[in-house]
Structure 1
Amino acid sequence: MPLPDFFLIGAPKAGTTALHAALRAHPQLSFASVKEPKYFMCGDARPRRETQRGPGDAHSAQEWVWQRDRYEALFAGAPQGALLGESTPFYLYDLDAQRRIAAARPDAKLVAVVRDPVDRAYSNWMHLWSDGLEPEADFLAAVRDEDRRVAAGWAPFWHYRRQGRYGEQLQHLLTLFPREQVLVLRYRQLVDAAGETLDRVSRFLGVAEGQVGAAAPENVRPYVDPDARRTRLLRPVLRAGFALGAYAPPQVWRAASRPLLRAYHAGGAARPTLSVEARREVQAPLLDDIAVLEEVTGESFADWRGEQGRGEFRARQGRISP
């Protein structure tokens, strides 16, 4: 069976899920039946346990599609003539995955969505904290612990600051693919000018414009107050469940965790705003990469050097606190 014609390659927490959801409605596009199969991160081998040491990592790795025949089967129901697509937002970060895609589909088109790397890291931490996985209730403490976590074998989703080094990632990607096969979007374009941006993606892929609606907010977790009694009671249960889930079929723990997560998320509090001091600390080691990104894309990302973030998807639309 044919492999995908195009890939949504990242970045995590930069709007890739919203873009995927919008493009799925396009009549000329057909996506893999599983979102984020992560096949090209695997190299046709089962994910290694030594790289799945973070909370919940081993459970999550059971869902990776690492066998070629299973991966190909994800596209079996595609309509005749449709372009095939796959979304795994870690492909941009994983340089080995980039190389494997280039070897398997050198003519593929790739779409990357980039977001202010501090906002992206904060949203990433918020996601894991609100799922009961992140041990640190303080974002800055979690970022400071990143080097130790990476050395200990925690999976890529825990690499808060590293995931946001898009300049290096795109620089490497463009050694494998010609520039005309790579489209780089900004998160703010997807949120603030969704129709225009989706038409731009359609033109890039070579399909009809005006066929899909605005990208709706996706994959957004409510903030969980660390001091709430509900949080203190349910976090140990969730963390124990994710640990035990590594030894059971993924669907078993997914089903069992739903009522726990609903209770955990109930009465979600307003998300705290990241302080200027915390933003500066997270941002400082990323400034050199922002310069690389500007060189690679020919665009200015001066707003990312500022002291204020722009918030997450719904906050940008004035619906919830940032």
Structure 2
Amino acid sequence: MGDVTVPNFFIVGAPKSGTTALSVFLSEHPQIFFSDPKEPEYFAKDLKKPQNWLCGNDFDEYQKLFESANEKHLVVGEGSVMYMFSKTAIREIYNFNPEAKLIIIVRNPLDLAYSFHEHLRFDFEEDQGDFAKAWALQEKRKKGLNLPKNIRNPSYLQYGEVAMLGNQVEKVFNIFPSNQIKIIVYDDFIKSNRKEYLKVLKFLGVQDDNRKEFNRYNERLNHKWRGLSVFRRKLPKGMQNFIRVLNENLTKLPYGERFGFTNRTKINRKPLPQSLKREMSDFFRDDVKKLSKIIKRDLNYWLCD
């Protein structure tokens, strides 16, 4: 190792499960090279990429994301969290590198689905602000009805399928050997970042970098000014990247949040109604049992009785 210039590990899921935080921690490790952006989505050939996306389905452009990796980097990775949801990505990754290591963070599906709806709202891909109504619309939307104008992958609106991690993890284990798969339970990651981080480092075969700070990322965000965000999304790719990099560098400075082009604000999310939690618990019950069996841990505490 040490001469790797293509990815040999992937964070493949799940969305809204702490993968951004983990990718930041790993990207700052001196022996790890992590792609920027975090989620190239290259191997999800069945999923439509965002407008002005960096590499799309172009392998040469994908490789360029890793060209800065050098001899000090023992492992090279990326973190496209919809790979596990994709119907083709895990097989594509295996065909690309059958020795690749995969990292998966699993989360309570009720919380994941609710948070993913919030994420689509933030990305202007969901026009139904009430999650309970969005959940109820799944069958109609599967038939192509009541779709938001800007949704790029209507399958993302199937919140039950997005959060059905038992089926997705089973698919991964059917393709990759178990010793190449690392499962993290989100609850453990939140409770003890460092403990789970060290397990990941051991899995990847790199040394402890004595990291002490474990900040949280992408916490329940909304736009301060939605119009400004709409405008920025229509800018050419080069201008979008320039603003993104400038903002990232500004916000790293002392008091930088005051000067960055930040248009984000944290929101307080209302608890799910108890009736909806019961409905969703019944929906996910068999899948959670499957996931529990796969990872050999009882996860039924996620659900309502």
Shift of 1:150: 4.3
Match of 2:67 among 49, 73, 76: 76
Shifted more, 62-71 versus 2-11: the winner is 62-71
1:306 aligned partner, one-letter code: C
Pick closer, same or farther for the CA change 1:103–1:241 going to 2, 3 Å. Answer: same
Match of 2:29 among 23, 26, 29: 26
2:68 aligned partner, one-letter code: G
Determine if contact 1:168/1:289 at 8 Å carries over to the other structure. Answer: yes
Determine if contact 1:223/1:271 at 8 Å carries over to the other structure. Answer: no
Shift of 1:40: 0.4
What is the alpha-carbon distance in structure 2 between the residues aligned to residue 215 and residue 9 of structure 1? 21
What is the alpha-carbon distance in structure 1 between the residues aligned to residue 35 and residue 102 of structure 2? 15
What is the alpha-carbon distance in structure 1 between the residues aligned to residue 135 and residue 90 of structure 2? 26
Paired residue for 1:116? 108
Pick closer, same or farther for the CA change 1:64–1:280 going to 2, 3 Å. Answer: farther
SS at match of 1:26: coil
SS at match of 2:103: strand
What is the alpha-carbon distance in structure 2 between the residues aligned to residue 239 and residue 151 of structure 1? 30
2:193 aligned partner, one-letter code: A
2:197 aligned partner, one-letter code: L
Determine if contact 1:91/1:97 at 8 Å carries over to the other structure. Answer: yes
2:184 aligned partner, one-letter code: L
SS at match of 1:37: coil
Match of 1:280 among 278, 281, 290: 278
1:146 aligned partner, one-letter code: Q
Paired residue for 1:128? 120
Match of 1:92 among 61, 84, 94: 84
What is the alpha-carbon distance in structure 2 between the residues aligned to residue 239 and residue 28 of structure 1? 35
Determine if contact 2:128/2:134 at 8 Å carries over to the other structure. Answer: yes
Paired residue for 1:207? 206
Shift of 1:147: 3.5
Paired residue for 1:310? none
Q: Which runs of 5+ in 1 are unaligned?
A: 225-229, 308-322
What is the alpha-carbon distance in structure 2 between the residues aligned to residue 30 and residue 121 of structure 1? 30
TM-score (norm 1): 0.76
Shift of 1:65: 3.1
Determine if contact 2:220/2:268 at 8 Å carries over to the other structure. Answer: no
What is the alpha-carbon distance in structure 1 between the residues aligned to residue 137 and residue 229 of structure 2? 19
Give CA-to-partner distance per residue, 1:25-78, whole Å, 9 cap, x none: 111111123210001012xxxx7xxx65xxxx753x734532111111111111
Number of equivalenced pairs: 280
| CA root-mean-square deviation | 3.0
Match of 2:131 among 139, 163, 166: 139
Pick closer, same or farther for the CA change 1:162–1:154 going to 2, 3 Å. Answer: farther
SS at match of 1:95: coil
Q: Which runs of 5+ in 2 are unaligned?
A: 145-150, 248-258
Pick closer, same or farther for the CA change 1:240–1:33 going to 2, 3 Å. Answer: closer
Shift of 1:12: 0.5
Paired residue for 2:42? 39
Paired residue for 1:294? 292
Give CA-to-partner distance per residue, 1:239-290, whole Å, 9 cap, x none: 9758x83xx634556889999x966x56x65321111112122232111111
Paired residue for 1:6? 9
Shift of 1:151: 4.4
Give CA-to-partner distance per residue, 1:165-208, whole Å, 9 cap, x none: 11111111111111110011011111111111000001111111
Is residue 181 of structure 2 the alignment partner of residue 194 of structure 1? no
SS at match of 1:161: helix
| Identical counterparts, % of pairs | 28
More helix per residue: 1
1:127 aligned partner, one-letter code: H
Pick closer, same or farther for the CA change 1:239–1:6 going to 2, 3 Å. Answer: closer
TM-score (norm 2): 0.80
Determine if contact 2:17/2:112 at 8 Å carries over to the other structure. Answer: yes
2:22 aligned partner, one-letter code: L
